[in-house]
């Protein structure tokens, strides 16, 4: 049984500023730095200094208490591909199609699990010639430009006072699209949206909503697309026939890949915009990269508000020829641009027909033609098992499945991450070569 957030906070002595719960006033202290830091990677003195300053400031301004969970993730796909992608996601995840919001140049589809897990917002441009800032973020990168509309955009965070949050964040130097910009971009008018990050190329949006209120996205004309519903229903029928319905759980974490020099500032930027804390960083030496994890201060269950992971090379690409290590992370960024690399879904602990649930799920989905980059890695003895799918042809995103055994609290094992990173790097190199081969030869 999960405790209410405020009682859990009391139990952990991580107390919110001026927070009350059933008549109990919580003491005013800084709590975002109260979590123990994990990992073996050394950060710079700049990072360590400003981590403390920024989180203490965030707490003192009451931003930590006004900004809550990830309410939704937004992405966009190529024209004519959203229905196929909805079918793919409804097979590979617990998401269901909910509604379509139609505006002048976009269809925006909302997928939902329930009100305790984030929504997935899928945008599709009606015309391939549509230009815009999000397309431009793709066009300067070799593989990114081959699918100019396909990209993850960012997260929508629930807030309790949008006006005050935006005012405070602007005072801290963050830039937001104007309401006129939001209208022209055909994004929900009840969101306050930051300009894309120079480090991750993602946006952060704020949606004012109390926990008991429904999620509503103020955009266009609401309709129920029969083709989207049919694609989802077919996928759910397949899930049931395969015996995997109920085994795939909500999003566990979101993993963004960035340039090596932007690792620390990208983490600090996200912590400044959210109510997350720094969980820790691990060196993956044989893949020349590091994995850096942040988690919500409000929710211990990542399926309520997914962890945010940042992966970066340890060295910039132009010195890699001096080293014996590969560079899959920075190669990805140089080909796609800084962006989300994968969405990780939790798998229910347990087994089916003599197999761990994750193996059972992967085998079933593989039979439907979906490929994976490697075999499932990890073991019950290690505490968890993980696997990457191939990147979706519709969104370029990878789905990761992760099963934790017996309440395992660790985020990953270093051996698992090394194998996953290597496998993704092999696929990305093949895609790069394929993209280069498809370019016309000039003579």
pLDDT tens for each residue of 154-166: 999 999 999 999 9
CA Rg value for the chain: 21
Domain boundaries, the chain: 40-435
pLDDT digits (tens, 9 = 90+) for 284-303: 888 899 999 999 999 999 99
Q: Where are the beta strands (DSSP E) in 36-184?
A: 38-39, 67-77, 96-102, 106-112, 119-125, 151-159
User: Please, which residues have CB within 8 angstroms of residue 382's CB and are 6 or more apart in sequence?
Assistant: 413, 415, 416
pLDDT number for residue 411: 67
Residue 186: left (phi > 0), alpha (psi -120 to 50), or beta? Answer: left
User: pLDDT tens-digit profile of 191-213?
Assistant: 999 999 999 999 999 999 999 99
Q: In angstroms, rounded to a whole number, what is the distance separating the alpha carbons of residues 52 and 133?
A: 33
Residues in contact with 218: Cβ distance below 8 Å, sequence separation at least 6, in sequence order:
188, 189, 190
**C-alpha dist (Å) from residue 86 to 230, 312, 323, 365:** 10, 30, 42, 15
Q: How confident is the model at residue 439 (pLDDT cuts 50, 70, 90)?
A: low
Residue pointed to by tokens 């229903």: 233
Determine the pLDDT at residue 342: 95
Contact 39, 281 (CB under 8 A): yes
pLDDT in the model for residue 424: 72
d(CA 84, CA 140): 27
Two structure tokens written together for 36: 């123990």
Tokens of 91: 């097979």
pLDDT band, residue 216 (cuts 50/70/90): very high
Provide the pLDDT confidence category of residue 432 given band limits of 50, 70 and 90. Answer: low
pLDDT band of 25, cuts 50, 70, 90: very low
Given a cut of 50, whether residue 323 has pLDDT beyond it is: yes
Task: List the beta strands (DSSP E) in 213-326.
Answer: 221-223, 248-258, 276-284, 289-296, 307-313
What is the spatial distance between Cα 174 and Cα 166, in angstroms, rounded to a whole number? 9
d(CA 97, CA 100) in angstroms, rounded, equals: 9
pLDDT (tens digit per residue) in 136-154 = 999 999 999 999 999 999 9
Q: Tell me the CATH architecture of domain 40-435.
A: Roll (3.10)
Q: What is the per-residue pLDDT across 221-245, written as a single tens digit (0 to 9) for each?
A: 999 999 999 999 999 999 999 999 9
pLDDT at 26: 37
Evaluate whether 288 touches 320 at the Cβ level (below 8 Å).
Answer: yes
Q: What is the pLDDT of residues 241-273, one digit of tens each?
A: 999 999 999 999 999 999 999 999 999 999 999
- Nearest residue to 185 via CA among 295, 108, 299, 284: 108
Q: Which residue has the higher pLDDT, 80 or 325?
A: 80
Dihedral Cα 77, 80, 84, 90, nearest 10 deg: 50
Q: Is the pLDDT of residue 217 over 80?
A: yes
Coil, helix or strand at residue 232: helix
Token pair 């985020």: residue: 411
């Amino acid at each position: 049984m999960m405790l209410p957030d405020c009682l859990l906070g009391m139990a952990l002595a991580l107390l919110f500023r001026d927070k009350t719960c059933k008549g109990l006033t919580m003491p005013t202290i800084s709590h975002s730095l109260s979590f123990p830091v994990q990992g073996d990677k050394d950060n710079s003195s700049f990072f360590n200094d400003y981590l403390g300053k920024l989180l203490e400031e965030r707490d003192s301004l009451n931003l930590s208490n006004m900004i809550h969970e990830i309410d939704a993730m937004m992405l966009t796909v190529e024209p004519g591909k959203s229905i196929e992608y909805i079918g793919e996601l409804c097979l590979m995840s617990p998401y269901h199609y909910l509604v379509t919001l139609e505006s002048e140049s976009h269809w925006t589809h909302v997928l939902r699990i329930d009100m305790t897990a984030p929504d997935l917002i899928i945008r599709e441009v009606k015309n391939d010639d549509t230009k815009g800032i999000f397309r431009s973020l793709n066009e300067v990168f070799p593989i990114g430009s081959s699918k100019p509309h396909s990209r993850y955009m960012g997260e929508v965070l629930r807030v309790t006072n949008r006006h005050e949050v935006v005012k405070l964040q602007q005072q801290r130097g963050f830039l937001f699209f104007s309401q006129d910009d939001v209208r022209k971009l055909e994004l929900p008018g009840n969101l306050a949206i930051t300009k894309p990050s120079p480090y991750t190329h993602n946006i952060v949006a704020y949606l004012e909503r109390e926990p008991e209120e429904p999620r509503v996205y103020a955009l266009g004309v609401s309709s129920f697309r029969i083709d989207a519903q049919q694609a989802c229903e077919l996928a759910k029928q397949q899930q049931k026939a395969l015996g995997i319905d109920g085994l795939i759980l909500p999003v566990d974490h979101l993993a963004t890949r960035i340039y090596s020099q932007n690792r620390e500032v990208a983490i600090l930027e996200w912590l400044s915009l959210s109510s997350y804390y720094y969980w820790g960083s691990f060196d993956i030496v044989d893949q020349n990269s590091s994995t850096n994890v942040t988690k919500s201060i409000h929710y211990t269950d990542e399926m309520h508000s997914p962890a945010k992971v940042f992966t970066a090379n340890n060295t910039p690409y132009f010195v890699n020829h001096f080293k014996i290590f590969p560079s899959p992370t920075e190669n990805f960024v140089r080909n796609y641009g800084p962006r989300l690399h994968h969405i990780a879904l939790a798998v229910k602990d347990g087994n089916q027909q003599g197999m761990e649930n994750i193996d059972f799920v992967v085998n079933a989905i593989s039979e439907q033609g979906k490929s994976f980059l490697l075999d499932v890695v990890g073991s019950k003895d290690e505490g968890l098992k993980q696997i990457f799918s191939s990147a979706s042809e519709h969104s370029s995103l990878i789905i990761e499945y992760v099963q934790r055994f017996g309440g395992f609290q660790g985020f990953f094992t270093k051996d698992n991450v090394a194998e996953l990173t290597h496998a993704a790097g092999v696929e990305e190199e093949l895609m790069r070569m394929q993209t280069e081969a498809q370019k016309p030869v000039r003579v």
